[in-house]
Amino acid sequence: MENDTICAISTPLGVSGIGIVRLSGKDTYRIIEEIFAPGKNPKKKKKFKISELPSHTVHYGHIVENGKIIDEVIVTIMKSPKSYTKEDMAEINCHGGIVPLREVLNLCIKKGARLAEPGEFTKRAFLNGRIDLTQAESILDIIYSKTNYGLNIGIKKLKGFLSKFISEIKEKIFNLLVEVEAKINFPEEEDVEKYPLDFRKELKNIYREIERFLEKSNKGKIIQTGVNVAIIGSPNVGKSSLLNAFLKEDRAIVTEIPGTTRDAIIEIVNIKGIPFNIIDTAGIRKAKNKIEKIGVEKSIEWMEKAEINLLIIDGSRKLNEYDYQLLNHIKEKPYLIIINKIDLPQKVEIEKIYNEFQSDRIIKASIKNYIGIEEIENKLLQLVSEGFGEIKGDEIYLNLRQEKKINTIKQYLKEILNENSIEIVAENLKRCINEIDELTGNKINDKILDQIFSNFCIGK
């Protein structure tokens, strides 16, 4: 049932200042009228007719069940079609805390609302035509964005950036299809000689446009999902200290006992707008027991998975066999070598490292004293720019579904470019249009829709 009334707690469950119960659907006003007593005194239940109130107004009062006050609340009314779902909606601002929220929610259900499925409010916004599918998906990008850049990308998509691009492509492809079909239906009326030239030129243009768009989205992906950076090194070199320095808080346990970190810790660090997923790995060491062995293997795995590796060496002692092993592997990916503990007398064979590695990849630091941290951050940004191009904040982010669809369209266009049979060309153009319709949700099956919206939280 798509037009029944749904309700959900839209704020995270836990103790907080306020919590919101949200309602959407045709019975929203009846339910509010039955459970809400406006004004200071809940006993003196005033006449409350939402149909007589203007939309987007806020009302103070109490939620009452059989004369018993459940909570003191503020109710916001948003009338169809000017609401998130385009349906009649209300938001009940309760006191945060699981009990009042649950009670208010249960009361709404008793009065005939149904508990919303994950993402169902947004799904309704889509089904009711307020936003297209790519815009609905962008709401997920916004919720999950890790930095301001990521947020900008999500907002841009919500405002229809992707929809606009793709509908322009659709129009161009549609025009080509009209031409091709005319030629199939009235072959004698078309200028047979001229037609393939113009056609191919336009086709190539569209192909290039899509190619550029996909390139731009690679960078966007980095902003949205983050760059994976592994901190590796022998035990006790200062790996956890570096993670804490990035975070500017004590997240990982730092001690003078080697092997303190047994499992990897991952934290998202925002460095000048780019999210880095920093992995503090367990130190590589001789496995004396099983737990440590797992730690060792994991560190090597992390090193392979990461996009950038930060190898820390303790400058206050000579290189050990593990340092050498890691130095041997480090060049396989973008990397930095950090000589730590420069506040102590230096014993490390520094000239060996300088002979073997580019000097601009080596940083001297005293992590404990915050010396060298900014240089490490700047170098990380530089490595990202070298790998992905400069991040400007105007990137595009495509989720996996969108990326796959656009790649499929690109593939069809490529096939058309190498095709001489006009019937097959027409067929492939139609396929492109079909893919675009599925991308924007113009045409889409319920299974895919359910899959998309199941990634949302309940109440969104």
Ligand X SMILES: Nc1nc2c(ncn2[C@@H]2O[C@H](COP(=O)(O)OP(=O)(O)OP(=O)(O)O)[C@@H](O)[C@H]2O)c(=O)[nH]1
Name the site residues for Mg ion (rule: CB under 5 A).
239-240, 260-261
Provide the minimum distance between the beta carbon of 345 and ligand X in the complex, in angstroms, as a whole number: 10
Q: Beta-carbon neighbour count of residue 426 at 10 Å?
A: 18
Is the dihedral angle over the CA atoms 83, 86, 92, 93 positive or is it negative? negative
- 170 Cβ contact partners less than 8 Å away, ≥ 6 residues apart: 433, 436, 437
How many residues comprise the chain?
Answer: 460
Using the contact rule CB under 6 A, the part of the chain among 30-38, 208-216, 217-225, 229-237 near ligand X is: 229-237
Site for ligand X in 311-350 (CB under 6 A): 340-341, 343-344
Say whether residue 368 binds ligand X (CB under 6 A). yes
CA distance linking residue 430 with residue 436, whole number of Å: 10
Nearer to Mg ion, 11 or 244 (CB): 244
Beta strands in 156-302 (DSSP E): 227-233, 265-271, 274-280
Say whether residue 256 binds ligand X (CB under 6 A). yes
Say whether residue 239 binds ligand X (CB under 6 A). yes
Nearer to ligand X, 26 or 293 (CB): 293
Provide the minimum distance between the beta carbon of 271 and Mg ion in the complex, in angstroms, as a whole number: 21
Say whether residue 299 binds ligand X (CB under 6 A). no
Say whether residue 238 binds ligand X (CB under 6 A). yes
Q: How many CA atoms lie within 13 A of 338 on its CB side?
A: 30
Amino acid at 446: D
One of 122, 217, 241, 299 touching ligand X (CB under 6 A): 241
Q: How many CA atoms lie within 13 A of 346 on its CB side?
A: 14
- Assess contact for 309 and 376: CB atoms under 8 A: no
- Assess contact for 62 and 103: CB atoms under 8 A: no
Partner whose footprint covers residue 343, from Mg ion, ligand X, none (CB < 5 to 8 Å by kind): ligand X
Nearer to ligand X, 181 or 343 (CB): 343
Q: Nearest 5°: CA angle at 114, between 108 and 115?
A: 90
Say whether residue 112 binds ligand X (CB under 6 A). no
One of 367, 381, 383, 413 touching ligand X (CB under 6 A): 367
One of 260, 270, 277, 346 touching ligand X (CB under 6 A): 260
- Assess contact for 401 and 134: CB atoms under 8 A: no
Say whether residue 157 binds ligand X (CB under 6 A). no
Using the contact rule CB under 6 A, the part of the chain among 160-168, 169-177, 259-267, 330-338 near ligand X is: 259-267
Say whether residue 196 binds ligand X (CB under 6 A). no
Q: Which residues bind ligand X (CB under 6 A)?
A: 233, 235-241, 254-256, 258-261, 283, 340-341, 343-344, 366-369
